[in-house]
Chains A and B, each alone.
Chain A
Amino acid sequence: MTNTGNKDTRSGFGAGLYELGTINPNVVALCADLIGSLKMEKFAESFPDRFFQTGIAEANMMGVAAGLAVTGRIPFAGTFAEFATGRVYDQLRQSVCYSQANVKIAASHAGITLGEDGATHQTMEDIALARALPHMAVVNPCDYNQTRLATLAAARWEGPLYLRFGRPSVPNFTPVDGPFEIGKAWMIQPGEDLTILATGHLVWEALEALKILAQKGIRAELINIHTISPLDEKAIIESARKTGAVVTAEEHLVTGGLGEAVAGLLARHNPVPMRMVAMEEGFGQSGTPRELMDLYGLNAAGIVAKASELRLR
């Protein structure tokens, strides 16, 4: 798997959304004063009747989206991940999920890689919030190509869906045509010695980690968990049975993230030693994305360190 050139995942969303506009007249989009940030310009300019600028009023945006969904549209409501979860939690709960409204939440600038803006905007809690909601699918693609495919797939998915992506330019390495299926884990590299389950920006870091681990004689299995809810339980349990050790990797707090989702699953079905690459606690801070990923250990070296801990037991 090679990097075909750095790109931001939000542009993958923008490209996918525009494609949806051309092929599905029911797809509509809303944005709370962040059209440029979410790369929604092309959809907004090409389909002005189907685009709704809501202004800086996210709670209203989620409600308007629910009304559009109930009447048969497929709305994509875009804002930053922090405002798409924390600010509007009750709207997501009652107007969207409990009302069974087919709303797609487009949550950009997720995680620590938002960088210089600092902790007010760097949500590291959004996966936990989104996956706690009944009926809400949670999808966290890893690069431009996968975010585009996830956007296209989200429109076909029946029900509320939280689509999480980011701002920084990162390696674009997954094949342009997938494979990608919501709810189905993607086996990137089979291995015997331990399992790495990675999501979002940490998938590229995990690929880098595989090379280092191989040099140490560790044949790790890498699975991309792009869909955190519903979790591909079968794939995770099978891999844990095979390798007997699991490292999870995500750009999120430990609390409520992929790692805890996997730990809960394996505790019920097949407990194995685990380590989690995730931010341990607290809020982030200003810095470049790279500096922050390195500071909090959300990188290849962090994955190698946790994998080595499991191997040295």
Chain B
Amino acid sequence: MNPKTPHSIPDLTSQIRRDIVRMVTAAKSGHPGGSLGSTDFLTVLFAEFLDQDPAQWRRDGQNTDMFFLSIGHISPLYYSLLARMGYFPVKELASFRQLGSRLQGHPSVENGLPGVHVASGSLGQGLSIACGAALSKRLAGDPHRVYVLMGDGESEEGQVWEAAMFAAHHKISNLTAITDWNGQQIDGPVDEIGGVGDLNAKWTAFGWRVLECDGHNPDDIRKAYRMAAEAGDKPVMILMHTNMGQGVDFMTGSHKWHGKAPSAEQEALALAQLKETLGDF
């Protein structure tokens, strides 16, 4: 089932959530809420769908699937997932946000961290880059897919819609975009802050094939990834319904943990809810 890992999805996601909480607490900064919320569907993508050998990872992504993280602030999840999948040593997670670390606050390529193709953090830019990579694969006759993870709050950025128009116009069908639709952004609920509104209607109107999915249900997630990869002439958007902070009860469903580190007491409370399955870093 999991070609890249001997571990089950529940074991992986529980450990990754522990890593997220511990990394952010140790760094006294970072973005736990979105990281926890995206854990389930991103783990399923990396463990079961992304055609990529961590040991042979190449920045140019030749003859493999490619993943781009547009919402660079959920780096705790990204780094933990990459480490737990074998892209780099798990012990390196302890260096998150420390001086000299490859695990910068937001992802960087400057120190050659395996798994990271481009820098991200300033929002709105990842979909455009994914479009370029997908065009490059089409040009090369490489049948692999390009994945990009975006945020619902991020779709307030104008560049997202430039890229949305571009991808449909150029029929970039080897592209699966994912929006983590958790309904929260730093200042509050997305519907109160930016008026993002009906994302399904918007992406459909822009010429995309749109799928909706329970972003915490592995079977539903698998179904969505399979459907997205079916042949067609449109780019595909999967709208993942999630809860920000999923897995830690006092963080769930609130924007208040978007960009805040837990105290030592809060960390203990959170870790008590998350089983250590693979061994802490």
Contacts and interface: CB of A to CB of B under 8 A. Distances in A.
Given A59-B159, A64-B129, A95-B119, A71 B136 contact: yes
The residue in B59, B60, B117, B128 that gathers the most chain A C-beta atoms within 10 A of its C-beta is: B128
Nearest to B146: A67
Interface stretch (B17-25, B163-171, B268-276): B163-171
Given A91-B125, A94-B125, A63 B131 contact: yes
Contact of B131 (A59, A64, A69, A72): A64
Nearest to A64: B132
Contacts of A100: 109-110
A100 B111 CA distance: 11
Contacts of B61: 70-71
Contacts of A93: 122
A54 interface: yes
A62 interface: yes
A60 interface: yes
Interface in B214-250: none
B36 to A, nearest CB: 25
Interface residues of B, number: 39
A50 B137 CA distance: 12
Contact of A94 (B62, B119, B139, B165): B119
Given A63-B159, A67-B128, A101 B135 contact: no
A98 B162 contact: no
Interface in A39-69: 49-50, 52, 54-55, 57, 59-69
Nearest to A49: B139
A94 B108 CA distance: 9
Interface in B130-157: 130-137, 139-140
Nearest to A73: B136
Consensus secondary structure, chain A interface: helix
A57 B158 CA distance: 10
A5 B130 CA distance: 44
Interface string A61-87: 111111111111101000000000000
A55 B166 contact: yes
A178 B179 CA distance: 51
A238 to B, nearest CB: 33
A86 to B, nearest CB: 15
B127 interface: yes
A279 to B, nearest CB: 31
The residue in A28, A63, A69 that gathers the most chain B C-beta atoms within 10 A of its C-beta is: A63
B118 interface: yes
B166 A70 contact: no
Interface of B: 59-62, 66, 68, 108-110, 117-122, 124-137, 139-140, 158-159, 162-163, 165-166, 169-170
